[in-house]
């Protein structure tokens, strides 16, 4: 495939900001008559998503699935499009790993004139409730910059699922394309030998972005100057090999990506010579208590990586929420995380044949942390890995696109009180009718289920999770085994940001009477 736009649908992730004119105070100091009206939730009018380049392997096969769930209050049509971003090779690719230094403001990681041009964009789906898919092969698939408006914006989800049959990183690399932002934390990255971790930076805007990447190991910040002032040209994507940013190889690091100018999408693609690979999405914002949902029942090894970005150390209690309640892992009851340092602990086969979720809570004072799990399935030469970052609750609604007739497992955890959720399996991309089912998740437990499948399914479908009561965190595992290797990928399901709170407003013409 050349570097042109992919013809698939698009529709929401980042919030479109909606504002109203609030009632102003009159000249005599009195407020407008009547009580203030409550704010209301409205569907967003515009969404943005960014998908990194799926692979540099000639053996890669990638499936894109784009989906917008049905939303109330979105009558009418909308528009959506995805365009290929220009790919700027990092210094490692250009020099054949002679020095491997990522580019800085001198243009080594981006064209100095900023004229890298994306592929032409094309309209995509014109309806909601049905996924659309696109298949590409090889190493030339570009990063994608997408936007959606109107009825297609609320809850838009795009999933890219790549299968790599051999070589470093062999396995399934799955990622839910993300919204542009200015700050990302990636605990669980690595600069060790045998591991190639690239952070992909994608700029959706018309002006260049300037990005800094900091790395933190078990003893604190790693010395690096080349991680500063990385320039990402407009409508372009820059891959940066993390091991080239430091001379200190570390098995477990936390990468902190910040945009000092502009905004970017960021995700880490991890490839291991022996253990396969997957995408490592950003952790949820630092918080005193975090939830990592969806550890598979047959996990043979689980590694927890935690980082405390503030000035205080964090002391955390570990609990595994399984199908029957929460237990404390023997020998790993608590974890001390020093400020500015990455802590890692191997939990082994912690699930013992029952799916679970890891809950981290403060033992005393609440100190914000970020966290992620590296999960391994299989044994010997037939192992495969995936990552589970700390994630926010499902909230009003969350969606996982690209589910197949077999191979999907949905994990739901209620860290507090008992909760109820409604699961909708959409129509299939090539046919089938939507199905809805309600589940109850007992407090302190994880419910792992084979999700409902659309009636008469043809093609792939999307799963939409809605909180009916309580608080739920969720993750979806997709299994695509090949040649005896249990290839799989896991995506967490935070709120899709399909609505925004808008204050009620009314005109007050008295302010014009000054």
Lowest mean pLDDT among 69-83, 252-266, 351-365: 69-83
Lowest mean pLDDT among 87-101, 290-304, 345-359: 87-101
Burial classification of residue 168, based on how many CB atoms lie within 10 Å of its CB (0-12 exposed, 13-18 middle, 19 or more buried): middle
pLDDT, residue 26, reads: 35
* pLDDT 10s digits, 316-327: 999 999 999 999
Judged against a pLDDT cut of 60, whether residue 97 lies above it is answered with: no
Q: Determine how β-strand 236-241 pairs with β-strand 86-87.
A: parallel
pLDDT, residue 161, reads: 97
Phi/psi of residue 497, each to 5°? Answer: 65, 30
pLDDT category, 125, cuts 50, 70, 90? low
Quote the percentage of the chain above a pLDDT of 90: 74
Question: Whole-angstrom Cα distance, residue 227 to residue 101?
Answer: 9
Q: What's the first-to-final CA gap in the chain, in angstroms?
A: 64
* pLDDT 10s digits, 132-176: 998 999 998 999 999 999 999 999 999 999 999 999 899 999 999
Lowest mean pLDDT among 18-32, 209-223, 457-471: 18-32
Judged against a pLDDT cut of 60, whether residue 36 lies above it is answered with: no
pLDDT category, 107, cuts 50, 70, 90? very low
Residue 323: which residues within 8 A CB-CB, separation 6 or more? 354, 355, 356, 445, 446, 447, 448
pLDDT, residue 78, reads: 84
Judged against a pLDDT cut of 70, whether residue 9 lies above it is answered with: no
pLDDT category, 422, cuts 50, 70, 90? very high
pLDDT, residue 89, reads: 73
pLDDT category, 502, cuts 50, 70, 90? confident
Residue 170: which residues within 8 A CB-CB, separation 6 or more? 164, 276, 277, 384, 485
* pLDDT 10s digits, 217-274: 999 999 887 899 999 999 999 999 999 999 989 999 999 999 999 999 999 999 999 9
Burial classification of residue 311, based on how many CB atoms lie within 10 Å of its CB (0-12 exposed, 13-18 middle, 19 or more buried): exposed
pLDDT, residue 213, reads: 98
- Which range has highest mean pLDDT (24-33, 132-141, 396-405)? 396-405
Lowest mean pLDDT among 101-105, 280-284, 364-368: 101-105
Judged against a pLDDT cut of 70, whether residue 7 lies above it is answered with: no
pLDDT category, 512, cuts 50, 70, 90? low
* pLDDT 10s digits, 269-292: 999 999 999 999 999 999 999 999
Q: State pTM to two decimals.
A: 0.87
Contact 49, 13 (CB under 8 A): yes
Judged against a pLDDT cut of 60, whether residue 315 lies above it is answered with: yes
Q: Name the nearest CA neighbour of 162 among 58, 242, 87.
A: 58
Multiple choice CATH, 290-389, 1.10.10.60, 1.10.600.10, 2.60.290.11, 3.40.630.30: 2.60.290.11
pLDDT, residue 192, reads: 96
Question: Whole-angstrom Cα distance, residue 209 to residue 207?
Answer: 7
* pLDDT 10s digits, 477-495: 999 999 999 999 999 999 9
pLDDT, residue 91, reads: 52
CA distances for 495 relative to 118, 148, 151, 158, 398, angstroms: 30, 18, 18, 14, 5
Q: By three-state DSSP, how is residue 28 classified?
A: coil
Mean pLDDT of the chain: 86
pLDDT, residue 506, reads: 63
Place of tokens 């470093």: 168
CA 1 to chain centre: 25
């Amino acid at each position: 495939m050349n570097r042109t736009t992919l013809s698939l649908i698009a529709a929401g992730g980042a919030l479109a900001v909606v504002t109203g004119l609030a009632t102003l105070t009159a000249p005599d100091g009195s407020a407008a008559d009547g009580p203030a009206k409550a704010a209301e939730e409205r569907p967003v009018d515009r969404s943005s998503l960014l998908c990194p380049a799926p692979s540099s392997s000639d053996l890669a096969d990638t499936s894109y699935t784009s989906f917008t769930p049905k939303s109330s209050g979105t009558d009418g049509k909308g528009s959506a499009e995805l365009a290929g971003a220009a790919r700027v090779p990092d210094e490692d690719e250009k020099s054949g790993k002679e020095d491997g230094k990522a580019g800085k403001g001198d243009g080594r990681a981006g064209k100095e004139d900023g004229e890298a041009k994306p592929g032409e964009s094309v309209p995509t789906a014109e309806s909601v409730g049905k996924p659309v898919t696109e298949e590409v092969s090889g190493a030339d698939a570009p990063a994608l910059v997408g936007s959606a408006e109107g009825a297609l914006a609320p809850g838009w989800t795009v999933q890219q699922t790549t299968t790599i049959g051999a070589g470093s990183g062999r396995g399934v690399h799955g990622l839910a394309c993300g919204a542009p932002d200015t700050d990302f934390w990636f605990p669980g990255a690595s600069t060790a030998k045998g591991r190639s971790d690239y952070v992909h930076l994608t700029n959706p805007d018309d002006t260049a972005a300037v990005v800094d990447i900091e790395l933190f190991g078990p003893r604190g910040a790693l010395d690096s100057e080349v991680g500063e002032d990385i320039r990402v040209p407009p409508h372009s994507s820059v891959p940066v090999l993390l091991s080239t940013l430091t001379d200190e190889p570390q098995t477990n690091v936390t990468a902190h990506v910040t945009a000092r100018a502009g905004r970017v999408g960021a995700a880490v693609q991890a490839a291991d010579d022996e253990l396969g690979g997957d995408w490592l999405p950003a952790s949820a914002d630092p918080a005193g208590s975090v939830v990592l949902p969806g550890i598979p029942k047959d996990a043979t090894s689980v590694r927890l990586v935690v980082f405390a970005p503030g000035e205080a150390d964090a002391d955390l209690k570990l609990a595994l929420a399984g199908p029957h309640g929460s237990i404390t892992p023997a020998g790993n009851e608590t974890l001390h995380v020093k400020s500015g340092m990455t802590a890692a602990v191997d939990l082994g086969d912690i699930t013992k044949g029952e799916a679970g979720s890891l809950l981290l809570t403060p033992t005393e004072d609440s100190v914000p942390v970020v966290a992620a799990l590296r999960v391994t399935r299989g044994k010997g030469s037939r192992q495969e890995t995936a990552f589970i970052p700390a994630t926010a609750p499902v909230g009003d609604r969350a969606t996982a696109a690209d589910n197949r007739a077999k191979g999907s497992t949905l994990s739901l955890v209620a860290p507090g009180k008992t909760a109820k959720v409604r699961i909708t399996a959409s129509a299939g991309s090539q046919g089938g009718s939507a199905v809805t089912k309600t589940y109850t998740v007992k407090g302190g437990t994880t419910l792992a289920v084979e999700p409902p499948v659309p009636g008469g399914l043809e093609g792939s479908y999307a799963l939409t999770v809605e909180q009916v009561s309580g608080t739920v965190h969720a993750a979806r595992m997709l299994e695509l085994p090949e040649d005896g290797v249990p290839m799989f990928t896991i995506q967490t399901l935070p709120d899709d940001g399909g609505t925004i709170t808008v204050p009620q407003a009314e005109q007050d013409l008295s302010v014009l009477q000054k």
